[in-house]
Structure 1
């Protein structure tokens, strides 16, 4: 059985599918510039979000984790509207429409996004109401609705409302002296219909009630007033039940929840003098950007919906009327409110390679041979230990590190601060513009500066996305450089949820390369010659293209395997098309957005594209080139996107140790053999979930890696 995305039935029984694939006549040269050879990135991203949602129906995941997938879909859609939809609307607003390789203009893309997003969100609430909640009821986990409250529960809710909600809520009647309030991005609000006059003789007929952001959206009822099980009640239900207390003496004709999503992208002018100060100012405006989406309860009268749309400057296609809470992301609280370990993933202990455990210090282990860690199956602690030991080691003279997302209170930040306090030369390149982590990065920059760390903010116009640590240590009368390079962020929590590679080495050439990259980031001057690393925005793009072209020259002896999170860069896609036309066997493991159209006769016959979704977020980036039996393998911080390859600071680092090359290839082959957590991209743009054939062994790649690297089945 297969599950297909992209060929969903609409209400009238018709299929909504992408444009059909045209098979060129034999011998005809395919035009690589033709728009039909590329998928739209926004629509491709929507399809990734939908694959996440489909995990909520996958019964191989524990029930609470299926609910979490449903919540993650909401979070992904929030960011999609805040950034991608907002960006398209900005293009139209300011007359800056750009035509991508797919040939779709922003106005057309927004129309298709609205149609598809409405389908997906309707399905999300259908899954919540008719699958997840009933299954949780069977497990004695109850979302107790107002109509189901017992007298004791109703009394408890009344007391909670009066003690916790009423003192902090601020109802706003709408009249000439109380204009429509400026509501915070993604906040829960209620529009209330009123009848009657208040104490001042005002008769407005309408009010807005912003739900206090400081209060939880889901509250657990005390066990003593329930008949067993886990019993949860929504904050929105409590406010609904007691709206009359907010407007004493007035008749409440209706109360309906709604939520506005705003443009949350930050736009900094090019002429600022202090990036940190400019960013602090912009962060305040993020909460009140232009509206891009209105979510509202499906029982809200149309005249009120239209009133809200007019107030926010939105059109009919921008409203999403939903059968349930308008912010399902807040249901993530279930995981902490409900004590049911049998309904969540079982824990496991990430391992530490024997090479590290058998040595006195991390430096001893790295000197023996380079180390490659695969998180979360292998522990992130050796990366932290590298910094901790460097901070305390009297032989260490200097530490340099890039920080994109790490958390202001992380062990890594503390280790850097400790090293600075001990008198070592510590430099941190903090990327302040890591989206949605800006405030946290400003805080960690301040903490580091207070400890004596030299903090720089990279290069204006180029986000520093590379993941690098450089430790300079005096050994036997000479200086030796120890390096960590990674595919993911220096964030310990992410290292438990994301799959990433960490590479540690004291290779002299790599150490020299990393030192030069830090020189470029902290100082000024011409681009320095780099020996082994590829680095954006200078060499990474052209070196990847040259390696693809080299495989193309090998024809059917060529082999390319690329594992990344997104593929949109057109020159890279064209190079892969040409390699396919030359007969190269190409497997692309692309978690999310993919603009390449695979399996098209004469264009991409030998290209297969799959997306892996499971317990962990796939985040490793690997570029594997067969090179006629002498493979070149690079791990990288960069995806196959224009921004990564052309307008960011990124690195790709070689894996040269034969044993480590074999390990990476084994990991890639595990992903390619996955027949249940993988989705195959079809030539028409749909995705089909792989399923084991009859009698075939079930292969879930993440579970195979978990067992291989931790011993836990």
Structure 2
């Protein structure tokens, strides 16, 4: 890293000392540093490094669409009252500076390392100057026949106003000289790249003088033939550009009569929310970027001039379409729990609960649980929550089939699941057409709980079976998100699940639940109670320990309870993938708290809460992070793991490997920055995810569960 970039990075990363809480936005950007570090890691296969690079782009898009947009909306609301709050203005300023450093690093890595390495391995991303004569001729023909007919340049004047620019779309601004058809001089034209055109174009292999496959970007094709679009005029300068807009949807749930219909009409407006970021090519002349900034009313601090395509995320297509196994992670085949290999899943669950650990174990048992229920003549009812099911889903098709067979099917579809609204609206419509009862949760709250309930008529009467999980009912993401799920026939747990469904459909207050913690009613209270009880144990001089794993930790009341427990002597270990507002390792406040983040091949998504509780080893799995939104503005559940054998599994698979990891682990310092752990002094390299792949994958060796082992988490 040169001195200029090092100085920029130091400035952007400076976090003031003191204060009990770290900034959430800057913590999110720290997470993207850790993802970018995966792209920079030469030990990771090349196409996977490209994939991580594109993930950073997608994450930054969402950061601006959601977090920066939220701050700007707050900024606008408060600007009229005694000026702009200093803390808010400072956060926006520092977030922009941090993003600038990240993006500089990202494009430098792309240009100086990823592209050359791809070319060395027969994947050539060709710029205009790198295409040979035959390829230039082919590109010209492609432009004339496939691209030009779809382009509509808009020359700006009072009769041709600035066109509406869709969120995150590829566009061009062009400065023209010479007289137009009506005798007027210099002007500016705006041109959209049609969404129907591919952004990455493969060139015919026979035209190449290089071994391997050659590609070019649509932006490069258009720019190479820009002059062809403006006959009789001179193209003085031009640049690609991309605008990121606020993407939060809003409907007044208390006013609308049908949330699905209201949201359907609102989806289109997402493309035209207020602008929050402008990306242009590095060669864009300042007067053109200034013109765009003024047009979109974007502050200069959120202008990013990039050295390459304005959307690196489009290159994910290259990583996905290549069949070069040597440039990708070794394929992984998940294991299948032996306790579910019999012919009757319900008979298995009557004997014992089954814990599933994805993606190391297959998600197929969850799909088969619903499919079996849908076709089983003894099953009379199925109830399920849906947050993100995806566009194609065998599980959703099974629910539709169950409704068509006359079973009582009730589905709570969360229509406000960000960026999945359209898919969920479509599923809701199909479910209703099939005869299912579909509701959309509770007004003002997102239903984020992951639950499925099957009611079956058996010899002794009706019996309930349930699945509860930490992740979505999405078979695609289940292949690369780590999550845990519990299949159970436990009477008290399934009774609680049924009460939650009645609460969601009837809007009555749920009865007192005996086993499940439910947000927004009891979850926050129970978490704080469990933390405080652990603190009380420590004050009496007995060993006390808390381990919690989740995506984000930002709720200040929970963090304060953890600080108090730390001061009481509780040993606290937190595994937080993304944003963490807790400041660890501060004397007199959090010196007994350690925070680490794991960023690896799979996206860490499991939520596990462990409290030693005088050797009772209380373990809860949950759909909820310890964030204000999860605890107070969502319907969430945390459910217990009761079986001693399954408790040991959660500890052995869900927590212990992550506390030992020295390959993909990053330790959070009290200054808000993370330092990567590395094996030291001859230590063995330990990757939690690799360990679990070897332990649980299809080729793993079976392990014997010891029912009466020693305290698995006794303090060292």
TM-score bracket, shorter-length normalisation: over 0.9
Q: Contact 2:227/2:234 (CA < 8 Å) preserved in 1?
A: yes
Please give the secondary structure, in 1, of the residue aligned with 2:179. Answer: coil
Aligned residues: 691
CA distance in 1, matches of 2:438, 2:48: 39
1:148 to 124, 127, 130: 130
Q: Contact 1:625/1:631 (CA < 8 Å) preserved in 2?
A: yes
CA apart distance, 1:12: 7.3
Structure 1's consecutive aligned runs of 4 or more residues displaced over 6 angstroms after TM superposition are 96-99
Q: Deviations over 1:37-83 (max 9, x none)?
A: 10010111111111111110112321101011010000000000001
1:632 to 618, 622, 627: 618
CA distance in 2, matches of 1:382, 1:12: 50
- Pair 1:712–1:299, CA change in 2 (3 A): farther
| Correspondence 1:412 to 2:412 | no
CA distance in 2, matches of 1:547, 1:80: 33
1:527 to 510, 517, 537: 510
Q: Deviations over 1:129-150 (max 9, x none)?
A: 1111121122121111101111
| Correspondence 1:44 to 2:27 | yes
Q: Deviations over 1:86-124 (max 9, x none)?
A: 11111111228999xxx9722111011111111111111
Partner of 1:282: 266
Q: Contact 1:10/1:16 (CA < 8 Å) preserved in 2?
A: no
Q: Deviations over 1:521-546 (max 9, x none)?
A: 01132331111000000000000100
CA distance in 1, matches of 2:412, 2:117: 48
Partner of 1:265: 248
CA distance in 1, matches of 2:605, 2:9: 38
CA distance in 1, matches of 2:426, 2:632: 29
Partner of 2:114: 132
CA distance in 2, matches of 1:308, 1:468: 47
Partner of 1:300: 284
Partner of 2:44: 61
CA apart distance, 1:355: 0.7
TM-score, length basis structure 2: 0.94
CA apart distance, 1:19: 4.2
Partner of 2:199: 217
Q: Deviations over 1:576-621 (max 9, x none)?
A: 0000001111000000000000000110011000000001000000
TM-score, length basis structure 1: 0.95
- Pair 1:16–1:330, CA change in 2 (3 A): closer
Which fold has the larger relative contact order, with Cα–Cα distance below 8 Å and residues 6 or more apart in sequence?
Answer: 1
CA distance in 2, matches of 1:171, 1:364: 66
| Correspondence 1:123 to 2:105 | yes
Partner of 1:28: none
| Correspondence 1:464 to 2:447 | yes
Partner of 1:515: 498
CA distance in 2, matches of 1:14, 1:674: 28
Partner of 1:339: 323
1:702 to 689, 692, 700: 689
Partner of 2:678: 691
Please give the secondary structure, in 2, of the residue aligned with 1:166. Answer: helix
Partner of 1:623: 609
2:657 to 648, 670, 674: 670
1:585 to 558, 561, 571: 571
CA apart distance, 1:510: 0.6
2:96 to 92, 101, 114: 114
CA distance in 1, matches of 2:258, 2:10: 56
- Pair 1:48–1:19, CA change in 2 (3 A): closer
CA distance in 2, matches of 1:362, 1:652: 24
Partner of 1:105: 87
Please give the secondary structure, in 2, of the residue aligned with 1:469. Answer: strand
Q: Deviations over 1:168-208 (max 9, x none)?
A: 11111111111111100000111111112233334352101
- Pair 1:684–1:13, CA change in 2 (3 A): closer
- Pair 1:685–1:635, CA change in 2 (3 A): same
Q: Contact 2:12/2:97 (CA < 8 Å) preserved in 1?
A: no
CA distance in 1, matches of 2:278, 2:9: 28
2:456 to 473, 481, 484: 473
Consecutive unaligned residues in structure 2, runs of 5 or more: 701-716
CA apart distance, 1:17: 4.6
Q: Contact 2:31/2:578 (CA < 8 Å) preserved in 1?
A: yes
Please give the secondary structure, in 2, of the residue aligned with 1:83. Answer: helix
Q: Contact 1:611/1:678 (CA < 8 Å) preserved in 2?
A: yes
Partner of 2:632: 646
CA distance in 2, matches of 1:490, 1:501: 12
CA apart distance, 1:517: 0.3
Per mean C-alpha deviation after superposition, the further-off stretch among 103-112 and 548-557 is 103-112
- Pair 1:637–1:12, CA change in 2 (3 A): closer
Q: Deviations over 1:451-470 (max 9, x none)?
A: 11111001010100000000
Partner of 1:499: 482
1:542 to 516, 525, 548: 525
The residue correspondences of 1:137-216 to structure 2 (distance < 5 A) are: 137-216=119-198
Partner of 2:554: 568
CA distance in 1, matches of 2:372, 2:410: 17
CA distance in 2, matches of 1:14, 1:115: 10
CA distance in 2, matches of 1:98, 1:374: 51
Partner of 2:423: 440
Partner of 2:372: 389
Q: Deviations over 1:266-296 (max 9, x none)?
A: 1222422221122112211110011100000
Q: Contact 1:230/1:338 (CA < 8 Å) preserved in 2?
A: no
Please give the secondary structure, in 2, of the residue aligned with 1:634. Answer: strand
Please give the secondary structure, in 2, of the residue aligned with 1:152. Answer: helix
Q: Deviations over 1:619-664 (max 9, x none)?
A: 0000000112110000000000000011100000000000000011
Please give the secondary structure, in 2, of the residue aligned with 1:629. Answer: coil
| Correspondence 1:376 to 2:355 | no
Q: Contact 2:251/2:263 (CA < 8 Å) preserved in 1?
A: yes
Q: Contact 1:400/1:469 (CA < 8 Å) preserved in 2?
A: yes
CA distance in 1, matches of 2:414, 2:651: 32
CA apart distance, 1:166: 1.1
Please give the secondary structure, in 2, of the residue aligned with 1:287. Answer: helix
CA distance in 2, matches of 1:596, 1:200: 64
| Correspondence 1:680 to 2:680 | no
- Pair 1:522–1:13, CA change in 2 (3 A): closer
Q: Contact 2:8/2:101 (CA < 8 Å) preserved in 1?
A: no
Partner of 2:705: none
CA apart distance, 1:348: 1.8
The residue correspondences of 1:60-79 to structure 2 (distance < 5 A) are: 60-79=43-62
Per mean C-alpha deviation after superposition, the further-off stretch among 540-549 and 550-559 is 550-559
Q: Contact 1:433/1:463 (CA < 8 Å) preserved in 2?
A: yes
CA distance in 2, matches of 1:374, 1:13: 38
Per mean C-alpha deviation after superposition, the further-off stretch among 241-250 and 43-52 is 241-250
| Correspondence 1:11 to 2:12 | no
CA distance in 2, matches of 1:486, 1:512: 16
CA distance in 1, matches of 2:12, 2:269: 39
Q: Contact 1:259/1:294 (CA < 8 Å) preserved in 2?
A: yes
Cα RMSD after superposing both structures: 1.8
Q: Deviations over 1:547-599 (max 9, x none)?
A: 00011011161110000000000110000000000111100000000000000
